[in-house]
Amino acid sequence: MTKKVLDNGRGQTLSKPPSTGDIYFNKIFSISTRLFTWATVILLAFIVYVIGKEAFVAFKELGFSFLTTSVWDSSEDVYGILPQIWGTVYSSFLALILGGFFGISIAIFITQDFLPHKIELILKNIIELLAAIPSVVYGLWGIYVLVPLIRPGANFLHEHLGWIPFFSTRLSGLGMLPAILVLAIMILPTVAAISQDAFRAIPHKTKEAAFGMGTTRWEAILRVLLPTASGGIFGALVLGFGRALGETMALAMLVGSMSTVSLSIFSPADTIAAMLANTFPEAGPGIETGALMYAACVLLLITLFVNIAGTFIINKATPGGTR
209 pLDDT higher than 90: no
Question: Selecting from 3.90.1150.10, 3.40.190.290, 1.10.3720.10, 3.65.10.10, what CATH number does the domain 60-317 have?
Answer: 1.10.3720.10
Listed in sequence order, the DSSP H helices in the chain are 20-62, 82-111, 117-129, 135-141, 147-161, 176-200, 204-212, 217-220, 226-228, 230-246, 249-254, 272-279, 287-317
Distance CA 323, CA 320 (A): 8
Distance CA 90, CA 255 (A): 12
Cα→Cα distances 50→2, 43, 297, Å = 57, 11, 11
pLDDT digits (tens, 9 = 90+) for 15-47: 667 777 777 888 888 898 999 999 999 998 898
SS3 state of residue 11? coil
Distance CA 292, CA 289 (A): 5
Reported confidence tier of residue 180, pLDDT bands at 50, 70, 90: very high
- The upper half-sphere exposure of residue 299, i.e. CA atoms within 13 Å in the direction of its Cβ, equals 26
SS3 state of residue 94? helix
Q: Which of 176-190, 227-241, 309-323 has the lowest mean pLDDT?
A: 309-323
Listed in sequence order, the DSSP H helices in 201-271 are 204-212, 217-220, 226-228, 230-246, 249-254
Residue count (the chain): 323
Note the pTM of the prediction, 2 decimals: 0.82
8 pLDDT higher than 90: no
Distance CA 94, CA 181 (A): 9
Give the whole-number percent of the chain exceeding pLDDT 70.
92
SS3 state of residue 78? strand
SS3 state of residue 4? coil
Beta bridge partners of 73: 78
Phi, psi of 78, rounded to the nearest 5 degrees = -115, 125
pLDDT digits (tens, 9 = 90+) for 99-154: 999 999 888 888 887 777 788 788 888 888 888 888 889 989 999 999 999 998 88
- Residue 323 is predicted with a pLDDT of 42
Distance CA 102, CA 83 (A): 28
The answer to whether the CB of 58 falls within 8 A of the CB of 290 is yes
Domain-wise residue ranges, the chain: 60-317
If one counts every other C-beta atom within 10 angstroms of the C-beta of residue 230, the result is 14
